[in-house]
A and B are shown apart, each in its own frame.
Chain A
Amino acid sequence: DQQVKQNSPSLSVQEGRISILNCDYTNSMFDYFLWYKKYPAEGPTFLISISSIKDKNEDGRFTVFLNKSAKHLSLHIVPSQPGDSAVYFCAASGNAGNMLTFGGGTRLMVKP
């Protein structure tokens, strides 16, 4: 039973346009959400996070939106750059402390 789902395995976007990556979760106990980016042959690197007390967090070109009622979060990248091409993982944690539950990932391809 997947508690965190990324339903789009891949996404292709033109350079300069907006990339929107989506993530859904089922466990209402999750209270902290993170996005990680992963390049081939490297470990995931932390990108941005959001607490359940907020509905938006912004860091430069990256913005994460949280809709608790829909149990949905999204990552917006504006403008998208070719260097953003990577696999993006959504992750969630809750009352279990530091345990993270990851989604299956979305491969983003930004075309020049």
Chain B
Amino acid sequence: DAGVIQSPRHEVTEMGQEVTLRCKPISGHDYLFWYRQTMMRGLELLIYFNNNVPIDDSGMPEDRFSAKMPNASFSTLKIQPSEPRDSAVYFCASSAGGDTQYFGPGTRLTVL
């Protein structure tokens, strides 16, 4: 049974470019979460969806960040324009309505 799938695994881009991170949650899970991990701030929740609807985006750093979930099997996190301070590992996680979240392998983003 496939877990949470994220792509790409690594992304290197230049400042000012648009970056799109992708996530496929575990089939049947109705919650999807986007996290960012940095040395300074640890693992922080950016936004989460329930049944494809954004529920809480208070963790999104600023307007340069946006997330969508057009259907139950796909979500994107977009950064436009990207800045060097956005460099981090971005994780997607999903859950079946309980508290246990299952994480993807992450996307390591480097903005030069």
Contacts and interface: CB of A to CB of B under 8 A. Distances in A.
Contacts of B98: 98
Contact of A46 (B97, B102, B106): B102
Q: Is the interface of B mostly helix, strand, loop or mixed?
A: strand
Contacts of A18: none
Contact of A89 (B43, B97, B100): B43
B103 A43 contact: yes
Contacts of A32: 99
Q: Is the interface of A mostly helix, strand, loop or mixed?
A: loop
B42 A104 contact: yes
A-B pairs with lowest CB-CB distance, top 6: A43-B103, A102-B43, A104-B42, A32-B99, A44-B103, A93-B99
Given A41-B105, A44-B91, A46-B102, 15 more contacts: A42-B106, A43-B91, A43-B103, A43-B105, A46-B101, A97-B55, A98-B31, A98-B33, A98-B48, A99-B48, A100-B101, A102-B42, A103-B42, A105-B42, A105-B43
Interface of A: 32, 34, 36, 41-46, 49, 89, 93, 96-105
Interface of B: 4, 31, 33, 42-45, 48, 50, 55-56, 91, 93, 95, 97-106
